[in-house]
Amino acid sequence: MGQLTGRTALVTGATAGIGLAAARRLAAEGAYVFLTGRRQQALDAAVAELGGPATGIRADVADPDDLVRVADVIRERGSGLDVLFANAGGGEFAALGEITWQHYADTFNTNVGGTLFTVQTVLPLLNPGASIIVTSSNIDVKGAAAFSVYAASKAALRSFTRSWAAELAGRDIRVNSIAPGPVATPGLSGLAPDPAAAQQLLDNLAAGVPMKRLGRPEEIADAVAFLASPASSFMTGAEIYVDGGASQI
Which residues are known to be catalytic?
A: 150
Q: Give exposure, 83-119, as e/b (b: 16+ Cβ within 10 Å).
A: bbbbbbbebebbeeeeeeeebeebbbbbbbbbbbbbb
**Sheet strand arrangement including 81-86:** 54-58, 32-37, 8-11, 81-86, 126-135, 174-180, 239-242
Query: Which amino acid does the sequence have at 99?
Result: I
Q: How many Cβ atoms from other residues are within 10 Å of residue 7's Cβ?
A: 24
Q: Report whether 23 contacts 29 (CB < 8 A).
A: no
For 61, counting Cβ atoms within 10 Å of its Cβ (0-12 exposed, 13-18 middle, 19+ buried), the class is: buried
Alpha-helix runs per DSSP H in the chain: 17-28, 40-50, 64-77, 101-108, 114-122, 148-168, 186-189, 195-207, 217-228
For 152, counting Cβ atoms within 10 Å of its Cβ (0-12 exposed, 13-18 middle, 19+ buried), the class is: middle
Torsion over CA: 25, 34, 126, 121 (sign): positive
